[in-house]
Amino acid sequence: MLFNSFAYLIFLPIVFLLYWFCLSKTVKIQNLFLLAASYFFYGWWNWRYLSLVILCSTVNYVAGRLLMKTEKHEYRKLIIVLCCLVSLGILGIFKYYNFFITSFAGCLELLNIRIHITILNLILPVGISFYTFHTLTYTLEVYKRKFEPTKDIISFFLFVSIFPLAMAGPIERATNLLPQLYKKRILDYSQIVSGLRLLLWGFFMKVAIADRLTVYVDSVYNNVSHHSGITLVLATVFFSFQIYCDFVGYSYIAVGCGKLLGLNFIENFRRPYMAVSVADFWRRWHISLSTWFRDYVYIPLGGNRCSTGRYYYNLMVTFLVSGLWHGADWSFVIWGGLNGLFQVIGKVLSPIKKYILQNSFLSQAVKIKKEFDILITFGLITFTWIFFRANSLDDSFIVIKNIVRFKGNLFTNNIDSLIYGSVLILVLCFSDAIQECNSGKHYFLEHKNKGIRYASYLLILLIILLIGVFDGSQFIYFQF
């Protein structure tokens, strides 16, 4: 079931009313109801793959209980290894088997060795990477003795599959969400208002901006060889905002739904296009995933508490793995590698940059340093998105080649999407800039003056209804 579907607009109010006004006597009843609703929500897409969610939940729940009962290091290590093998094995079969087997066969062909390979025709389960990381976070924290394993199987299964997070995160930590599931929730008017506000802004970003930009981006990127450099630059910039609005829109809706249920999910985005460096971008973009890779890949490799060369190696490995997590294709690996490489280059050039900016003859440059850094960072990130969006690696290089040539006429089909998209991007940039200066608060939607607040609600709703694209398009990150 999609957030931007008619079915969800019926599903959410029903869940809300039953949850608060019929089943609020005990926490256990509420949790059991939410678990059933979450399984219904996920099963709406494909009920057969519910078995994978339940299997992954069961394996990690049992692993947590076993880790609690043994103190022997050898047994604890065996339990966590087996748990990771099962969880990552399921992910590997469905998401990476075909990629690795075809890549291996391709390498052998370079040596004039041909082998017969078997390709699995499997549908990638929606959200499999997200609920796999959900469960592994819990088990790894229990293994490190940072979190007490739960005895409440209903709460744990709900933690893994709760419907606002089921498809595309944020990747919740057990330390944040599980304790909330144990406690009685109280209907709080201010939290409901906050949740509805997030829902409104999330739908605006998804339906009015992201899906409107999608029309133009897809028309260009689905036939890149026939488009000029000017058009491809514009389509790539549009995609930068499309994927941002698509994913942050989902996150806002997810967090907003959580608030409607009396739950507080972790923040997943913090105005990433206001970042002043690629490293800063990744502290603001998909925060739940970035911190996951930091805690479970980067730090175990040694983090930055090592030699300079080793530090750069750790950074590159982390982002290459992150790229592979996003998709079983070399384009995603290159995308991740570029994000790591730009950070390494930034670290190498940092002393030179500092020296230049301290030069008295360039004192004026210091005053515009932040704005300049934001533009440079946006340009670098937008370049990496080419590999993320292109339909193939070959298409990525065609896009870059045509952009370098930078000639030809602007593609003016879908002119309404071109105009609306451009205007709405400016509105979004203006809004993010104000939020950046206002401690993250939305100036209009959270204004003290009721008239301004309600006028803002009405205006956004009208924009959604008038220019929103209601084709039920799925969120981009569902494929991961």
Q: Which residues are catalytic?
A: 326
Please check whether residue 183 is in contact with residue 87, taking contact to mean a CB–CB distance below 8 angstroms.
Answer: no
Nearest to 42 by CA among 16, 19, 8: 8
Q: Which residue type occupies 112?
A: N
Give the CA-trace dihedral at 292, 214, 335, 124, to 10 degrees: 60
Give the CA-trace dihedral at 431, 433, 434, 436, to 10 degrees: 120
Query: Rounded CA gap, 379 and 459, in Å?
Result: 31
Please check whether residue 150 is in contact with residue 140, taking contact to mean a CB–CB distance below 8 angstroms.
Answer: no
Nearest to 280 by CA among 148, 381, 204, 186: 381
**For residue 448, which phi and psi values (nearest 5 degrees)?**
-65, -30
Please check whether residue 259 is in contact with residue 192, taking contact to mean a CB–CB distance below 8 angstroms.
Answer: yes
Nearest to 241 by CA among 266, 208, 267, 265: 208
How wide is the angle at C-alpha 373 spanned by C-alphas 370 and 377, nearest 5°?
140
Q: Is 444 exposed, middle or buried (0-12, 13-18, 19+ CB in 10 A)?
A: middle
Nearest to 257 by CA among 165, 129, 180: 165
Tokens 């996003």 belong to which residue? 326
Distance of CA 168 to the CA centre of its chain: 7
Map residue 447 onto helix, strand or coil.
coil
Q: What is the DSSP string of 219-246?
A: HHHTTGGGS-HHHHHHHHHHHHHHHHHH
Please check whether residue 153 is in contact with residue 253, taking contact to mean a CB–CB distance below 8 angstroms.
Answer: no
Give the CA-trace dihedral at 158, 268, 42, 92, to 10 degrees: -100
